[in-house]
Amino acid sequence: MLNQFIKRLVFEKCYAIKSICNECKKQGWKSIGLSVYLKNWKGLRFWTNNGFDKIIGIFGDKKYSETTFSIIGLQKELN
């Protein structure tokens, strides 16, 4: 039951991403970007699998610890 729920959520997120990208493309946008916490491995994998595969920057704390954070900026081309 839980697996079906998770699969449905992932499907809905993917559909929403495609809808947003299509609308941005209609409006003349060439690309779209977002940021992900570097410690969020599942999120990084999810977004890169959905086409956000160009790194536009890494921002945040210079030292790694449990209380510091950094984000990676990702971009998707809308050709």
Give the DSSP per-residue string, 15-70.
Answer: HHHHHHHHHHHHTT-SEEEEEEETT-HHHHHHHHHTT--EEEEEEE-SS--TT--E
Q: Can you give the pLDDT at residue 25?
A: 95
Find where tokens 């977002």 sit. Answer: 34
Domain housing 23:
2-77
Taking the C-alpha atoms of residue 32 and residue 67, their distance in angstroms, rounded to an integer, is 29
Q: What digits encode the pLDDT tens for the residues 13-69?
A: 888 999 999 999 999 999 999 999 999 999 999 999 999 999 999 999 988 888 999
Q: Can you give the pLDDT at residue 2?
A: 66
> What is the number of structural domains in the chain?
1
pTM (two decimals): 0.80
For the domain that residue 9 is a member of, what is the CATH number? 3.40.630.30
Find where tokens 């959905």 sit. Answer: 50
Give yes or no for residue 10 having a pLDDT over 70. yes
